Amino acid sequence: MKRTILNLSLALAMSGLPLSVGCDRTVSESETTKERSDGTVSTSKEKTTVSPDGDVKTTRERTVDK
């Protein structure tokens, strides 16, 4: 039984099944850092990705370090 499961796992891994699912493709990525006069540092990150089915997703992250 263990041998059958192992063989099926290897067959699926080598068949290209992971390629058919795909992963997100990064279209653009930017990072901006600003230091203000009071000593705080503001960092803004923006990343745009496209999934294999065509959905566009934009992620924005902003952090402020005091």
User: Given the structure tokens 């795909």, which residue do they identify?
Assistant: 22
pLDDT band at 60; cut points 50, 70, 90: very high
High-pLDDT (> 90) share of the chain, %:
52
Helix (H) or strand (E) holding 47: strand 41-50
d(CA 34, CA 37): 10
User: Given the structure tokens 């089915």, which residue do they identify?
Assistant: 53
pTM of the complete model: 0.57
**Domain spans of the chain, in order of start:** 23-66
Q: Are strands 56-65 and 41-50 parallel, antiparallel or unpaired?
A: antiparallel
User: Given the structure tokens 């850092």, which residue do they identify?
Assistant: 33
Mean of all residue pLDDT scores within the chain? 86
Residue 19 has pLDDT above 80, yes or no: no
62 touches 43 (CB < 8 A): yes
